[in-house]
Amino acid sequence: MERKETTTVVNIFDDRVRVYELPPEKAVVAAYEEVEEENYDYWSYPNPEDHPQFQEYELGFACGDWVAWKRSGGRLAS
């Protein structure tokens, strides 16, 4: 069985966590729409670049208070 890649999305203010089988830019939008807007019609979610709360940063993506690392470069140095 092939393992699907997942994205973990975290709310930066209260540490709620959601996991999606989506790329990180879409996962933050899904978390925002589901939790903040109570919108579970995933087919109606806007593209990340069209969402008014979406932002891209050097290491990740955010939509409102929901954040996720980018696939590459998203590891903290130890």
- In our burial notation (b when 16+ CB lie closer than 10 A, e otherwise), range 53-77 reads bbeeeeebbbbbbbbbbbeeeeeee
pLDDT of 19: 98
Work out the pLDDT band at 71, boundaries 50, 70, 90.
Answer: confident
* 29-46: average pLDDT: 98
For residue 2, pLDDT beyond 60: yes
In a domain, 78, yes or no: no
Work out the pLDDT band at 56, boundaries 50, 70, 90.
Answer: very high
| Counted domains in the chain | 1
Q: Which domain holds residue 58?
A: 7-69
In a domain, 74, yes or no: no
Which of 37, 26, 32 is closest to 11 using CA atoms?
32
Percent pLDDT > 70 in the chain is: 90
